[in-house]
Chain A
Amino acid sequence: MNDGKDNSADNSEDKREELTSLRPAWQTLAEGSGRPRPAVNLKRKRRQQRWAWGAESLVAAAGALAGLVLIVQGPALIGIAALVYSLFGAALAWKTRSINIDLLGHSTRDYLAARRTVLKTKRNHDAGGALMCLAALGFFWFVRGQQAMAWSTLDWSILVGLLVAAACLAIRGWRLQRLIVEAEQQAAVVRHG
């Protein structure tokens, strides 16, 4: 029994040594031969990060502003929903940004599980937003129809705005769903050696 264990340990060591023998070829990959290591360009990445964060903030600010305008001038209920949703979206974007950095230091298995959770939260937020937009659209259409008045520019703006917002959120949610499926597949591959 012990011999069997020793042999298995020896075999494992041999197998590792076989891979170790490939190390010189692997290690010289970046050492001025076939695949030279590129120079680090942090400025570009930091700029991209700032743009991404700026775009997220802009969308949230636009949503909040639209919400405030609606509270003051239009249907207040839709305005409150837009304001709360935008603020929640901004908080979620800020939180997931710091979570993502923190998660990278976890083991691959934990990272994939946590990444899936983060992606699902964002997807649910987008899906909820798209549904809210459609519900608001229906509600607004119904209320204006009951009033039997001509549609103003603000009415049309609300209608088109809700439609565009619902479409954008649905597309982003669909893309997030694809990433979730990919993360689930990767997690399954990593889990089952």
Chain B
Amino acid sequence: MSFDALIDDYGDMVWRIALAHERNAAVAEELYQEICFALWSSRDRIEEAEHPKAYVARIAMNQAISHVRREVKLPETVAVAVDAADDDAKSLDDTLHRLHQQERLLDAVQQLPLNWRQPVTLTLEGFKPAEIAYVMGTTANSISLRLSRARTTLRQLLNDDMDATKRPVGATA
């Protein structure tokens, strides 16, 4: 498998893992580049791995948690690039609603502690508890327990955020 094929297959997953670990968009992009470099360095091992997707997830997760935070003197910005074709197909309201949902979900995942964020991110990526246990080096039961706790917190965070957006402008908490 060439490096380009690797990025075609798993690039989106790696990018989402980077986003889950870094709030600042510029730092998340830097982290994504670091993960890609780590994947490039380990491309032979990935090719030989029994479960390449899980192996890639391991590399991405490990690189993400060891990523040294650097102070980036840029304001927190969200790049909103809406496809023109997408606009034609759906109404502006739908697109905005979708973007808002994604931002809320990403924000909630970023707020989870590391030991919950990892299994939640991987579950959202389609991994099963046994596969997440392989990535994290723990048992499937432990992962299920963490997911159970994280789910409650995640729901709470999503609901809190929804309440905040419903609150009239100028209202205080």
> What 0/1 readout, one digit per residue, does chain A (33-54) give for beta carbons within 8 Å of chain B?
1111110111011100100000
Binding site for A on B (CB under 8 A): 3, 7, 11-12, 15-16, 19, 25, 29, 32-34, 36-38, 40-42, 45, 49, 55, 58-59, 61-63, 65-66, 68, 78-83, 86, 95, 98-99, 101-103, 105-106, 109, 113-115, 118, 120, 123-126, 129, 134-138, 142-149, 151, 154-155
Q: When the two chains form their complex, are residues B135 and A28 in contact, meaning their CB atoms are under 8 A apart?
A: no
Number of A-B pairs whose CB atoms are under 8 Å?
165
Q: Give the CA-CA distance A15 to B137 in the complex, in Å.
A: 22
Closest A-chain residue to B56, C-beta based? A105
Q: List 24 A-B contacts (CB under 8 A).
A: A15-B144, A18-B151, A19-B154, A20-B123, A25-B98, A25-B101, A27-B16, A27-B124, A29-B16, A34-B78, A37-B15, A38-B15, A40-B36, A44-B33, A45-B36, A104-B62, A106-B137, A107-B135, A109-B137, A111-B58, A183-B66, A190-B114, A190-B138, A193-B142
A5 interfacial by beta-carbon distance below 8 Å: no
Residue in contact with B58 in the complex, picked from A26, A106, A183, CB distance below 8 Å: A106
Residue in contact with A104 in the complex, picked from B12, B63, B113, B124, CB distance below 8 Å: B63
A31 interfacial by beta-carbon distance below 8 Å: yes
Q: Is the interface of B mostly helix, strand, loop or mixed?
A: helix
Given A22-B105, A45-B36: A15 and B118 within 8 A (CB)?
Answer: no
Which residues between 1 and 28 of chain A lie within 8 Å of chain B, taking CB atoms?
A: 11-12, 15-16, 18-20, 22-23, 25-28
Closest B-chain residue to A188, C-beta based? B115
A112 interfacial by beta-carbon distance below 8 Å: yes
Closest A-chain residue to B140, C-beta based? A12
Q: When the two chains form their complex, are residues B62 and A108 in contact, meaning their CB atoms are under 8 A apart?
A: yes
Residues in A whose Cβ lies below 8 Å from that of B95:
33
Q: When the two chains form their complex, are residues B36 and A30 in contact, meaning their CB atoms are under 8 A apart?
A: no
A115 interfacial by beta-carbon distance below 8 Å: yes
Residues in B whose Cβ lies below 8 Å from that of A179:
68
Q: When the two chains form their complex, are residues A30 and B124 in contact, meaning their CB atoms are under 8 A apart?
A: no
Closest Cβ–Cβ distance, residue B117 to chain A (whole Å): 10
Residues in B whose Cβ lies below 8 Å from that of A11:
148
Residues in A whose Cβ lies below 8 Å from that of B106:
29, 34-35
Closest A-chain residue to B118, C-beta based? A108
Q: When the two chains form their complex, are residues B62 and A103 in contact, meaning their CB atoms are under 8 A apart?
A: yes
Q: When the two chains form their complex, are residues B16 and A30 in contact, meaning their CB atoms are under 8 A apart?
A: yes
Given A45-B34, A189-B114: A101 and B41 within 8 A (CB)?
Answer: yes
